[in-house]
Amino acid sequence: MNIVVLVKQVPDTAAERTLSEADHTLDREGADLVLDEINERAAEEALVLKATLGAEISVVSMGPDSALDAIRKVLAMGADRGIHICDDRLQGSDAVTTARVLAAAVRTVADVDLVLAGNATTDGQAGVVPAVVADLLGVPQLTHIRELTVDAGRVRAERETENGEVTLDAPLPALVSVTEKINEPRYPSFKGIMAAKKKPVETVDLDDLFPDADDADFLVTRTRVVEAVPRPARAAGIRVTDDGSAGRQLVDYLIAQRLL
C-alpha cells in the first residue's frame, strides 16, 4: 500500500516564540526549528503498517529550505521518499491554502491508500488542516485517533476528544490524524540516518503543483493580522505556605474576589 505522511517543522515549544514585527507571521529566524513531535508518531504508525502490511511511505512537508531536515528525520526513521514543497510565495499561508497545497502534493503520489498526520501542530494548534485535506481529497477523515487498525481495505480507529470516545470505520483511501497516545516513536538508527541521505527527495513549487493556476489569483491567506501584542506574563500574586489553615484563608480570598 502507499502511505503519505504529512509533517511540519515547528519552533521548539521549549523556546520562546515571537511574531515578526513586519507581517505578524511567526518569526522563524530566532526560533529553534524541530520536526513536530506528533509527526514522529504519525510516521511511526506508518512504519508499523509497513512492517505488517508492506507499504511505500512518502513524507510530505511544506516549508522553507530548513524543512528538509524534518523530511530527512522521517526518512531516517524508515520512510522511503520525500516531497518538499518549497516556495517563497507560500510564506504566511492560512490553513485553507496549506491544506490545498498539501492535498495537491498527495495527489502527485500514485494510488495513495492512507494519509497520516498529527492531530494538531504545536505552533498552530488549531488542528484543522488534516480535516481540510480529507475534504479536498474526498476521503473519510479519521482524526484525533489513539488506536488504528488497517485490514482488508478498511480502516477502523478509536477517536478520543473532549466529547468522549467513538469508534470509526471507513474504507480506504482515508486520512488519519493521530494523537500522542497512538504509540512511542522509534529513534532513527545510525544506519537509518546514513541511508536517509541516499533516499530521494523531490522539491516542488506552486507551479509544479498547480500548473494551470493563474499566479495572480493565488491566495496565500484569506485573513490578516491587524495587531499582535505580547501579553504581559502572568505574575505570581499572593503566595502562602500551608500552616494548616491555607484552605480557610483561600475561602476568604475567593469571597473577596467575588468568586464565591
Partner 1 sequence: MPDVLVLVDHDGEHVHKSTYELLAVARWLGDPAAVVVGSPGTAARLKDPLARHGATCVYSAESAEADEFLVTPAVDALELAVREASPAAVLVSATTDGKEVAGRLAARLDAGLLIDAVDLDSSGEVTQIVFGGSCTVRSQVTHGFPVIAVRPGSVEPEEHPVEAAERELALPPVDPAASARITARRLALAGDRPELTEASVVVSGGRGVAGADGFKVVEELADALGGAVGASRAAVDAGYYPHRFQVGQTGASVSPQLYIALGISGAIQHLAGMQTSKTIVAVNKDPEAPILALADYGVVGDLFAVAPQLAEEVTARRLGS
Residue 2: burial class (beta carbons within 10 Å; 0-12, 13-18, 19+): middle
Total residues in contact with partner 1, by rule CB under 8 A: 88
CA nearest neighbour of 117 among 103, 97, 96? 103
Q: Does 221 bind partner 1 (CB under 8 A)?
A: yes
Cα-Cα-Cα-Cα torsion 239, 243, 245, 250, nearest 10 degrees, comes to 10
Q: Which is nearer to partner 1, 24 or 186 (CB)?
A: 24
The CB-of-25 to partner 1 minimum distance in angstroms stands at 11
Residue 174 touches partner 1, criterion: CB under 8 A? yes
All cell numbers assigned to 143: 482524526
Q: In the complex, what is the shortest distance from the CB of residue 163 to partner 1, in angstroms, rounded to a whole number?
A: 6
Could you tell me the three cell numbers for 148? 488504528
Report the residue from 88, 111, 198, 222 that binds partner 1 according to the rule CB under 8 A: 222
Kindly identify the residues of this chain, within the stretch 147-166, that bind partner 1 according to CB under 8 A.
156-157, 159-166
Report 82-101 residues binding partner 1 (CB under 8 A): 94-96, 99-100
User: Which residues inside 229-258 make contact with partner 1, applying CB under 8 A?
Assistant: 229-231, 233-242, 244-248, 250-251, 253-255, 257
Residues contacting 112, CB < 8 A, separation 6+: 2, 3, 4, 106, 173
Task: Report the DSSP pairing between strands 174-178 and 114-118.
Answer: parallel
Give me the DSSP letters along 13-78: TTS---B-TTTSSB--TTSPEEE-HHHHHHHHHHHHHHHHH--EEEEEEESSTTHHHHHHHHHHHT
Report if residue 194 touches partner 1, rule: CB under 8 A. no
20 binds partner 1 (CB under 8 A): no
Please select the residue that binds partner 1; options are 58, 93, 179, 183, rule is CB under 8 A: 179
126 binds partner 1 (CB under 8 A): yes
φ and ψ at 35, to 5 degrees? -70, 125
The interface with partner 1 within residues 25-54 (CB under 8 A) comprises none
Stretch that binds partner 1, among 50-58, 82-90, 140-148, 202-210 (CB under 8 A): 140-148
Q: Which helix (H) or strand (E) holds 143?
A: strand 141-151
Taking the complex as a whole, the smallest distance from the CB of residue 81 to partner 1 amounts, in Å, to 27
Please report whether residue 22 would count as binding partner 1 according to CB under 8 A.
no
Contact stretch for partner 1 (CB under 8 A) within 47-55, 71-79, 143-151, 191-199? 143-151
Q: Which of 44, 56, 83 is nearest to 67 (CA)?
A: 83
- Distance of closest approach, residue 48 Cβ to partner 1, in angstroms: 20
